[in-house]
Structure 1
């Protein structure tokens, strides 16, 4: 089946303007890199999302979920099949001490809503780049907090397009992992339990964490965020820095001189530049410390045809 046929069939499930062909994924990733998607689908609600997932499964069409494009490197050849984007599923609301957020919502916006409502518990996420779905999948955390501390349950889609509601225990949240990544589920929404707090203290904490992030992270350049997971008993950034990798890279990609845990797109880098820089860093750290750094970012897609 051709991508033209895929697009024709998907336009029976979604509004026509929500199905794009050969869409450059560099427009949708935080690295500003990545080749085209055969089909780029952006449903307007949860039922349409389920319909796309079910259709892809039944017709054996490859399906990749793309949140807000953080924590991901898309190769220069792009992605075959369907790229599913949930940028329209962004509803956020407070109901008492419960916070409800759809999977496509910006996790930073969720943190700000909680803080503005006088609720404490979500401040740690005020600087995390990514969507609620991505944060759930990776059990995102920072500054002593993580998703598993506040989650009540999440509504997900299976690969077959069936809805499931998973409790905190059923989500199997660990360090940068969950049942979501293990089973390939798609997050539709999540519900969190917060506590009423002192507004002045909440505001002060939000300001402090925002300052820490802005002063220490290379936000002036596109990047995928923290590239590597934290090795047991150590820090990836520290190991990379002590391996002399800061400022080094391939093409337009460079290990940040501000925070060694980041690789930035400094000058129109290709995904190949970025990936070569990742491999260089891994080799340097292994040669110096005998530690094999594990990727936190996800690398997807195909290499460009030479």
Structure 2
């Protein structure tokens, strides 16, 4: 029972990382129908940003969070402006296009940083842990969970309290009607890409606390992130939160009872079975229709 209880913070931290990655995909995929396979490389960019900044100051890890957001966000903005905007409405083409971009970015990372993985040293205040009711809570995993909560609250406030967020919600719900209402949908798309890519960069910084950094870092998480988006419902923040929690705990406990490879297979089977019952995900975007 003690070992099972200790899987709880592991499952929560996995869910937190998946949620940070999936937040951006929730809106780029849900709003624009873009299957962005290069999203994983924005995670990698955030992780390498933390690697480059480590040791510069005593708070270099905290500094890496906004810097990684900016770096990955600008990369996403450039990708949308230069390539993706020419392929809206063609999801298969965007999949192939962004997959090619991801391969180019991975090779670029190998050329710049080398093929071997590198390690980011965690700050001293994230080393160790605390025991709560017999459960060991590592500080690094607690930090990842808190970071995910802060990002979710920030995105929620942005969507519900700021005019730019309401414009994004309008485009997600009905792009044509939003355009007829005077909303510059192209500008909203670009900022959505920037926001989603920036959150992937933040996720990359968080991942440096649980493992090494390498050119293929993003590929290990991108499929699970898309599963979170699809299972939660396109463009649904609460769905992404619940789906990330479900996948995080499933991954954690299935790996504990079996092994990593079999756990992945069982998670895929569970998601496929769920989508047979709820093909539109946990939550469906509400709209108006004449009956």
- From the two aligned structures, give the one with the greater helix fraction: 2
Identify which of structures 1 and 2 has the higher relative contact order when contacts are C-alpha pairs closer than 8 Å and 6+ apart: 2
- From the two aligned structures, give the one with the greater strand fraction: 1
With the shorter chain as reference, the TM-score category is: under 0.3
